[in-house]
Chains A and B, each alone.
Chain A
Amino acid sequence: MNPYVIPSLILVVLVTVGIGAYGLRFARTTSDFLVASRSVSPSWNAAAISGEYLSAASFLGIAGLVLRYGVDVLWYPVGFAAGYLALLLFVAAPLRRSGAFTLPDFCQVRLRSPLLRRLATVFVMFIGCLYLVPQLQGAGLTFTTVTGGSYTWGALAVGLVVTANVALGGMRAITFVQAFQYWLKLTALAVPVIFLILQWQADGRPAVTPPVGATFRTVTTVTVQQDAVLDGTTSVKRGDELTFPAGAPVPAVSSVDAHLGAGWLLPGREGSLFATYSLILATFLGTMGLPHVLVRFYTNPDGASARRTTLVVLALVGLFYLLPTLYGVLGRIYTPQLLITGRTDAVVLLLPEAALGGGALGQLLGALVTAGALAAFLSTSSGLLTSVAGVVFTDVLRAGRGGSIRDFRVATALAAVVPLALSVYVANMDVSRVVGLAFAVAASSFCPLLVLGIWWRGLTDVGAAAGILAGGGASMAAVLVTVLGPPLSGWPAQLVGQPAAWSVPLAFLVMVVGSLLTSKRVPADVGALMLRLHAPESLRL
């Protein structure tokens, strides 16, 4: 085992807790805890938003998917980044000017409906859980891959650190922690990739897709993870050890879905055109509906700075997403054994040692990417937990804004229990896919609510509730069927596996038609509200 990994992990946790404790000195009132008194500077805030956003799915999952499926999955990073453009164009400044704390707050401010507020609370908690569980699972998986220790302990340890940090420091501390973790994550991918590319040059630039398909560069011994059939002929059992000579082609494994031939380079192999467009729609529009992304915007001092912050975030996130693709591509050359075990999510963690050898340099860089992965779990789950705890605090415990800090700590513990338990008990869910489903639910519930609420005077509470129930409910059902239900095939599988292409238009349609039918319920003060959302601050209305 790599001797540098444990010290670097301990260092990351200590620095995280340390910055959290430092932030505690500033946290005085409950308002401080929830939105950091809205006085965080734009550059800090942008780094914090990016740090919070780049989750296990971004840090590990994208490279793993690229290793398996090739160019088609590049829509994931493009969509994750483009989501911030949609947020910037349609939501950022007006949402900040609305003065709401959370998504349920926005429902209250815009439509004055307690019922809609409760509905939004349910969806915030569902999306929060859906997004939090794979983060903790990714943490457990990383722990198993790197240390050989138990999955449960990895997931529990990250869960406890996050819960303690959120409960003790609140959001102010979290802002500093998140900003630190963005730069850590960027460094952890950017520095090793330089050495990896130099090594690739030194090896005589081995081809990414040799004519015979993916091959082993060196003698490799692989432990099979599941009972499977190799190349359609040889049966292997879980735990079998297979040894491949250098230059041998990677066999097709029946239990692992992957593209082995040269078709990996070409688009249109993975899923249909429908699935691709559905994914694009979910990621473009889903970002604005993620609770932990929105809560950050209330920490900007005004609407114009919310816009500028979002632009910086777009640049920071885009910069980061240049890197995972390179790991996936190089993984094709240096870690083809992952195509047999199916643990492709581990490619980022294993690549430095696989490519640079087991020497000190490879081990140090391996420890660096592992520290970055830990930062990814810590930051995203902290942000999610803060926003879910904020909603539990204001809407479930009904503490209101006068509530005490102790109540917020209780809310944090409550919000952490369910995802922690789920992450331990639910079996292997695919990290990136589940995150994609969370985006689909967000895109078909909160995105129509925000866009229509901000830009259309005619929205009513009944129409909004109907739209959220129709679009969000349908996509939620699709998620539950995908995760818990039987395997599907053909068109039903496409429609259920990538629901956004039909559930988002459905949500918009139901919301508009429902609002038109109940147009008498348009709030009387909608004109004044719209002025507040859209008037520039310089007017000082």
Chain B
Amino acid sequence: MRAQLALALRLSLVVATGLGALPLLFAVAPAVGGAQVFGVNLPWLLLGVASFPFLVGVGWAYVRWAEHNERDFTAVIRRPEQ
């Protein structure tokens, strides 16, 4: 349980810094907000397109590691019986 909570907290920290820092960045450095990539303003690309694959990627990593944790846990519990 502790391992699962630590995993969830670590990944939410990744999301909080990855996405949560954006409004601050745009406010502190307006130049970033005006920057253009492929003729589209950077904030539109970051928020409108890139954020969704990022979220799915973090979710996928979580499911993988959480199931890994559970397998380890099951293995530890089962071993003494044999």
Residues of A within 8 A of B (CB): 71, 74-75, 77-78, 81-82, 84-86, 88-90, 93, 265-268, 273, 276-277, 280, 304, 307-308, 310-311, 314-315, 318-319, 321-322, 325, 455, 530, 534, 536, 538-539
Contacts and interface: CB of A to CB of B under 8 A. Distances in A.
B48 A268 contact: no
A538 B77 CA distance: 11
Contact of A534 (B1, B11, B33, B62): B1
A304 B66 CA distance: 9
Contacts of B48: 71, 74, 77, 322, 325
A322 B56 CA distance: 13
Contacts of A273: 23-24, 27
A86 B16 CA distance: 11
A371 B26 CA distance: 38
Interface string B45-78: 0011101110110111011001100110110010
Residue of A77, A78, A266, A268 most packed against chain B (CB within 10 A): A78
Nearest to A310: B59
Given A536-B70, A538-B74, A82 B44 contact: no
A81 B52 contact: yes
Nearest to A71: B43
Residue of A89, A273, A304, A321 most packed against chain B (CB within 10 A): A89
Contact of A85 (B1, B15, B71, B74): B15
Nearest to A457: B1
Contact of A304 (B19, B70, B77): B70
Nearest to B51: A78
Contacts of A276: 23
A266 B34 contact: yes
A310 B62 CA distance: 11
A538 B67 CA distance: 11
Contacts of B41: 71, 265-266
Nearest to B66: A307
12 contacts: A71-B43, A74-B48, A75-B23, A82-B55, A88-B63, A267-B33, A268-B27, A304-B67, A307-B62, A307-B66, A318-B52, A321-B52
**Interchain residue pairs A-B with the least CB separation, the first 4:** A318-B52, A74-B47, A536-B70, A267-B26
A539 B77 contact: yes
Contacts of B77: 539
Nearest to B24: A273
A268 B62 contact: no
A308 B66 CA distance: 11
A308 B63 contact: yes
Contact of B73 (A277, A530, A536): A536
A315 B57 CA distance: 9
Nearest to A533: B1
A242 to B, nearest CB: 31
A88 B77 CA distance: 25
Nearest to B48: A325
Nearest to A530: B1
B56 A311 contact: yes
Contacts of B80: none
B37 interface: no
Contacts of A77: 48
Given A78-B47, A82-B15, A280-B23, 13 more contacts: A82-B19, A84-B55, A265-B41, A265-B44, A266-B30, A266-B43, A267-B26, A273-B23, A280-B20, A307-B62, A307-B67, A318-B52, A322-B49
A395 B19 CA distance: 40
